[in-house]
Every structure is written in C-alpha cells, then in structure tokens.
Amino acid sequence: MGSANPTTSQAAHARIRAQRADHARTHLAIIGSAYLVLILAGLKSVESRLSLTRREPFGRVRPGDTILFRVRGGGYAARARVARVESFEGLDPDGVRALAERYEPLVRGGRAYWAGKRHARYATLMWLERPRPETRGPAWTPHGRAWLTLGPPPPPPRDPRRPAHARAR
C-alpha cells in the first residue's frame, strides 16, 4: 500500500473546495435573539428546521453553503458556514422525540421547541462552522417564512485597513 503524493492530494482537495464554492448558496434564516447569542458563543452548533411539509431548507442546503441570520423583527446579525447536513422525512412524534434526545445538546431548542415540533414530518439539521457577527446582507422584504434560499454567497466583508490593490489578488 503506497502513500499518497502530498502535492497531488493537496491539488485534489483544492479542486474539491473550488467546486463546492462554485455551487455554494446563501440562505437567510430568521431566528430568535436567544438563539443568536448561543450561535455566536459557539454553544448552539446545529441549526434545525422541522416542518409538516417539504419546504426550505429541506433538500436545498448543502455543506459549504452560507447561512445569514436575521433576528426576528430586526436586522442581519450573524453568518455561518454549513459544515454538514442531515435531513429526515416521514417523521412522526416518536421520530421527533428521537431527534430531540439525540441532538438537543447541539440544537439547544429546549423542551418547548421540541414539543411544538412533535408533529413535524420533515427535519433538516445543519452543523454550523465559523459563526461570526454580520450586519450586512441583501435587501429583504418580510414574507412570512423563516427560511429563504437567496443564491450565491455574498463576498466576505472587506478589511478597510487593506488598500484596494491588495484585495484584488
């Protein structure tokens, strides 16, 4: 059994990362302020969405995507990258209870959250990485949904201390 050529391996990983970046999407999630605090503190590492019907983000979010978080009734507050996604369909109250038992330490929803979702038939769990504050985002009009897929991710914020010619690299 031979060892992999590090240069070839590094090049392959770079191609995979570039492909993921080309296909990455940005999603807008509306959350409560208590969840925002937990996400930014690194205490809530999984964002969960459970629903009765097959709706976003079910089947739409992938590893490498970006989630922009807005506080309910407020503005943009954070962003995070999606590291991993698990989706479940055909759930019943026992299935939701099993999800709560297994994932509550990561989701941090609390009893009331899981009780309110007990009749959900679909669930999407998204592992978050590199959460950070973000106060900018695309123009958005409230539409009554708590999730929206926007399209390609916005560019990362520019460092105002770096000259423009240094950013073009």
Name 87's Cβ contacts closer than 8 Å, sequence gap at least 6: 58, 59, 122, 123, 124, 125
pLDDT at 6 over 90: no
In this predicted model, which residue has the larger pLDDT, 155 or 77? 77
> What confidence score (pLDDT) does residue 158 get?
61
Question: Are 47 and 7 contacting, i.e. CB atoms less than 8 angstroms apart?
Answer: no
Q: Cα–Cα distance between 140 and 147 in angstroms, integer?
A: 12
The helix (run of H) or strand (run of E) holding residue 14 is helix 6-23
pLDDT at 142 (0 to 100): 79
Closest CA to 96 of 107, 84, 82: 107
Residue 154 vs residues 26, 28, 63, 92, 105: alpha-carbon distances, Å? 7, 12, 16, 37, 31
More confident residue, 84 or 151: 84
Say how far apart CA 153 and CA 29 lie, in whole Å. Answer: 14
What average pLDDT is seen over the chain? Answer: 84
Q: How far apart are CA 38 and CA 113, in angstroms?
A: 15
Query: Domain 24-135, CATH 2.30.130.30 — does that match?
Result: yes
**Burial class of residue 6 (count of CB atoms within 10 Å of its CB; 0-12, 13-18, 19+):** exposed
Tokens (6 digits) for 165:
């010619």
| pLDDT over threshold 60, residue 102 | yes
**pLDDT above 60 (res 120):** yes
**Share in percent of the chain as helix, strand, coil (round to 5):** 30, 30, 40
Per cent of the chain over pLDDT 70 is 76
pLDDT digits (tens, 9 = 90+) for 56-99: 999 999 999 999 999 998 999 999 999 999 999 999 999 999 99
Say yes or no to pLDDT of 105 above 60: yes
For the residues 134-141, what does the mean pLDDT come to? Answer: 88
Query: How does residue 15 score in pLDDT terms, banded at 50, 70 and 90?
Result: very low
In whole angstroms, give the CA distance from residue 68 to residue 66.
Answer: 7
Q: Is the pLDDT at 28 greater than 90, yes or no?
A: yes
Residue 7 has pLDDT above 60, yes or no: no
Q: Residue 84 in contact with residue 126, Cβ under 8 Å?
A: yes
Write down the domain spans for the chain.
24-135
